[in-house]
Amino acid sequence: MHKLYDFIEARERLGTVTVTTKLLHSDVFSDECGNDVYIKPENLQRTGSFKVRGAYNKICKLSDEEKKCGVIAASAGNHAQGVALAAQKLGIKAVIVMPKHTPLIKIESTKRWGAEVVLHGEVYDEAYQKACELQEEYGYTFVHPFNDEDVLEGQGTIALEVLEELPDADVMLVPVGGGGLVAGVAAAAKLKNPTIKIIGVEPEGAACALAGLQAGKPVELKEASTIADGAAVKLVGDLTLQYIKQYVDEIVTVSDYELMEAFLLLVEKHKLVAENAGILSLAGLKKLSCRGKKVVSIVSGGNIDVLTISSMITKGLIVRGRIFSFSVNLPDKPGQLVAVSQILAKQDANVIKLDHNQFKNLDRFHEVELQVTVETNGEEHIANIIEAFAQQGYMITRLNSSSLLEE
């Protein structure tokens, strides 16, 4: 286990490579959870995530002989770029094995930092096996994304930065995938300030750390199903689980819907873009039982493609009640669309989509079904629209938000 000076030395080691990401106070997230919330924006870090911290610290501590042999890693995202940049800065060879169907933008970003990319396998596990084979064949040093003392030591430097800027922080929320970030942050934070509370936040569909804690040992999940792909880990590290047991106060889980909501708020109110795994800590704010405390949420990364951004914004609007879809049965006679439009206009609901289908309601020959999607200002506005229709004799049916989110 680490001592405080280990993390202090790691921070000095990273001084010329990483950006000190300053805390941002968030009025909107403070209001949402009843605490005084600060964001640690590691999405603004070099390579767009915290991963460069652990990768550089690990590679920097290798012996001269190990550096001559080069390093290898398996990754489909942030770890790949962190290892590539670290190796480039230290002037050594880096080989990254990525699954064949890794998005081209991630492959090119990794190459841009000077790494040799090997595409192999359909999923991460197959890429990992290939990396192990290449390591054995060529004598590379393997840089694990989370289950490594030097890697988690590098990640822990985030806690030192936070507590230097906000020494009286009460709570720190940390995203959890394989556990390297939360292990390092929790250890460094507790060694610096034993009274601070550390809460790890996992996606409901990939809660491997929580499963490990409950079983007392790492337990492999049957599947990892979550939009937080960067945290879609089936098996927590055995090393990181030891740190979690010793230093982490609580693990909470959040749903994909809660991630969508947090994403929208971050983009709309702070003009910051983060990846789904990166905002786990923001989604976790609503799970806090405390009030009036100084809380820091670590936003761990921002590498997300444009199409996913668009989808997340739309889905976030639905979850927040900013988009409302409903159906209503209308008499099959002229003037009904005008009546519906007038009700919506009086309620200041902007129509986004309208589907008027005379053939959809075949069981009721004198009625047609109208499906409408409107832009709204939240749940109170939606309730007002429903009431306005009822007063005019129209019974509307709210379309299931889960079906809309799947479109």
Give me the DSSP letters along 213-242. HHHTS----S----S-GGG--SS--HHHHH
Asked if residue 164 is part of any domain, the answer here is: yes
* pLDDT higher than 70, residue 357: no
Predicted local distance difference test score (pLDDT) of residue 25 = 98
User: Taking a C-beta distance cutoff of 8 angstroms, is the pair 127, 76 a contact?
Assistant: yes
**Residue 332 is assigned to a structural domain of this protein:** yes
Total domain count for the chain? 3
Average pLDDT value for residue range 260-270: 93
Residue 29, in any domain of the structure? yes
Overall average pLDDT of the 2-30 stretch: 95
- What is the overall mean pLDDT for the chain? 91
Position with higher pLDDT, 51 vs 352: 51
Query: Are 247 and 293 part of one and the same domain?
Result: yes
Nearest to 41 by CA among 18, 17, 22: 22
Full residue range of the structural domain in which residue 197 is found: 4-49+152-315
Does the pLDDT value for residue 369 go beyond 50? yes
- Summarised one tens digit per residue, pLDDT across range 90-118 is 999 999 999 888 878 788 889 999 999 99
Same domain, 184 and 310: yes
Which class for 321: exposed (0-12), middle (13-18), buried (19 or more C-beta within 10 A)? middle
In DSSP terms, 202 is beta-bridged to 253
Average pLDDT over residues 107-131: 90
Given a cut of 70, whether residue 64 has pLDDT beyond it is yes
Q: Are residues 232 and 299 in the same domain?
A: yes
Q: 242 or 373, which is more confident?
A: 242
Residue 336 has pLDDT above 60, yes or no: yes
pLDDT for 364 beyond 60: no
DSSP states along 303-339: ---HHHHHHHHHHHHHHTTSEEEEEEEEESSTTHHHH
pLDDT beyond 60 at 403 = no
pLDDT value at 176 more than 80: yes
End of a domain among 297, 315, 333?
315
Task: Find out whether 131 and 70 touch, Cβ atoms under 8 Å.
Answer: no
Whether residue 405 lies inside any domain: the answer is: no
Average pLDDT over residues 7-31: 96
pTM for the full predicted model: 0.84
Q: Are residues 134 and 243 in the same domain?
A: no
User: What token pair was written down for 182?
Assistant: 């939360």
Query: Does 85 share its domain with 38?
Result: no
Does 225 fall in a domain? yes
The predicted pLDDT at position 402 comes to 47
Give the confidence band of 222 by pLDDT, cuts at 50, 70, 90: very high
- Co-location of 215 and 178 in the same domain: yes
The answer as to whether 406 is a domain residue is no
Question: Is the domain of 132 the same as that of 259?
Answer: no
pLDDT at 366: 65
Q: Is residue 362 predicted with pLDDT exceeding 60?
A: no
CATH (domain of 334): 3.30.70.260
Q: Which of 315, 335, 358 is the last residue of a domain?
A: 315
Decide if 300 is catalytic: yes
Greater confidence (372 vs 201) lies with: 201
- The catalytic residue among 75, 281, 300, 325 is 300
Looking at the fold, whether 179 and 267 belong to one and the same domain comes out as yes
Residues 164 and 39 in one domain: yes
Whether residue 284 sits in one domain with residue 176:
yes
Residue 111 annotated to the active site? no
Q: Calculate mean pLDDT across residues 61-82.
A: 93
Question: What is the per-residue pLDDT for 358?
Answer: 60
Between 27 and 125, where is the model more confident?
27
Which residue has better confidence, 330 or 89? 89
**Measured in whole angstroms, how far is the alpha carbon of residue 86 from the centre of its chain?**
23
Are 328 and 232 found together in one domain? no
Residue 407 maps to a domain:
no
- Write down the pLDDT at residue 368: 83
Domain boundary among 315, 349, 375: 315
Residue 127's domain is classified under what CATH number? 3.40.50.1100
- Of the chain, the percentage scoring pLDDT greater than 90 comes to 69
In the chain, % of residues over pLDDT 70: 96
Residue 403 lies in a domain: no
| Backbone torsions φ then ψ of 361, nearest 5 degrees | -100, 65
Mean pLDDT over residues 56-60, rounded? Answer: 97
pLDDT band at 401 (very low <50, low <70, confident <90, very high): low
**Which one is catalytic: 51, 106, 190, 315?**
51
Highest mean pLDDT among 3-17, 312-326, 370-384: 3-17
Does residue 168 share a domain with residue 39?
Answer: yes
pLDDT above 80: residue 257:
yes
Q: Is residue 404 predicted with pLDDT exceeding 80? A: no
